[in-house]
Amino acid sequence: MTSVRVGIVGCGMAGRKHIDAFQSLGSLASVVGICDENIELAQRIGKRWDIEVFGDHSELLDFGLDLFVIATPHATHHKLAIDGLNKNISLLVEKPLASNLSQAKEIAAICAEKKLKCAVGFVHRHRMEMQAAHRHITQQDCGEVVYMTDSFWLSGGERLPEWLWKDTEAGLGVLGYSAIHRIDWQGWLANSRVASVYAQTNRSGIYEGSIHGVVANLMFASGAVGSVVGYQPNVDVNNPFISTVIAGSQGLINIKLGQSFEICTSEENYRKSVVQDNQFVKQARDIVNAIVEDREPCSSVYDGVHSAAVVEAIVQSAKTDSKIDVKD
């Protein structure tokens, strides 16, 4: 395979980042086609990059693709993914992988049957500060992971698309948009799956019944404990708060996403500012290399299935006010 042929459905904020990322890979990959329900938007972007524009994703899937990138509203992910896999095309699906666990498991099963690759858009794994944390933890510079906590306060409400908040459109609110990233990277950093959860959610917001806030305790199979605490109010947050702390048996890591990385152990203690890099380019390169090298991508379809299972358990825990076991 000389160059991976990429097709992208969805030309919104995420879709445009994917287009830019894959087009930056030179001879490794090329975006050969795009489509969006807003055809005028797709045509403007296609003209900028000299990319073929299609009126429907089924036409795009017949354009000799090696990789199909799905950057559309959550409720559409399952059908688009199945359509791509049925054409024997590997996938990069924006998170969440699907609207629910059953759909996510179906996607994973077809991937396994057809021996196709599927990356899930947990793009923060590719950030410099997260890669540094993963490296230090893998080297056990902080000993065994004991506790992890993530806190965030971000813009919400009308600042984000309405479909994101509606359960009927599988938006899942703050769970499907922000909390799911924290759930994913905690498991990745701890190298462990979530075994059970106890959670509460806040549904008071501009969209009735939508999940605007979450407090979730995650019990990992390794024995580590994690917490995810976040809220997206109905206002524009000019200075968002995002914090990650990983406490190990022999040290601590403190991350301010996009700002700084700090590690404290008996052997070293240093803090450094984060050099802004493009995690979307790193993610694009990873899935392209996974296809060429016949390996799993950094964030695989199985990570997408597990995150779907954890999100469902959180929703169930909040409804029943009880601890729920996570079952992939």
Q: How many Cα atoms occupy the beta-carbon half-sphere of 168 within 13 Å? A: 4
The per-residue pLDDT for 104 is 98
**Mean pLDDT across 252-265:** 93
Residue 180, pLDDT > 90, answer yes
> Where along the chain do its domains lie?
4-123+281-299, 124-275+308-325
Taking only the tens place, the pLDDT of each residue in 15-25 is 999 999 999 99
Residue 160, pLDDT > 70, answer yes
The per-residue pLDDT for 212 is 85
How far apart (Å, rounded) are the C-alpha atoms in residues 43 and 88? 27
Question: Residue 300 pairs with which residues in a beta bridge?
Answer: 119
The per-residue pLDDT for 148 is 98
How far apart (Å, rounded) are the C-alpha atoms in residues 116 and 94? 17
The residue with greater pLDDT, 62 or 237, is 62
C-alpha distances in angstroms, 284 versus 120, 180, 277?
A: 11, 20, 13
Give the fold, CATH level 3, of 124-275+308-325: Dihydrodipicolinate Reductase; domain 2 (3.30.360)
C-beta atoms surrounding 12 within 10 Å: 15
Centroid of chain to Cα 207 = 23
The per-residue pLDDT for 274 is 78
Taking only the tens place, the pLDDT of each residue in 62-108 is 999 999 999 999 999 999 999 999 999 999 999 999 999 999 999 99
What is the overall mean pLDDT for the chain?
A: 93
Centroid of chain to Cα 267 = 33
Helix (H, G, I), strand (E, B) or coil at 148: strand
Domain 4-123+281-299 has what CATH class? alpha beta
Residue 211, pLDDT > 90, answer no
Q: Supply the pTM of this predicted model.
A: 0.95
Are 195 and 317 spatial neighbours (Cβ–Cβ below 8 Å)?
no
Residue 142, pLDDT > 70, answer yes
Taking only the tens place, the pLDDT of each residue in 285-306 is 999 999 999 999 999 999 999 9
Helix (H, G, I), strand (E, B) or coil at 227: strand
How far apart (Å, rounded) are the C-alpha atoms in residues 147 and 140? 14
The per-residue pLDDT for 273 is 83
The per-residue pLDDT for 81 is 98
Given pLDDT bands bounded at 50, 70 and 90, which one contains residue 170? low
Q: Which two tokens stand for residue 126?
A: 């590719």
How far apart (Å, rounded) are the C-alpha atoms in residues 183 and 108? 19
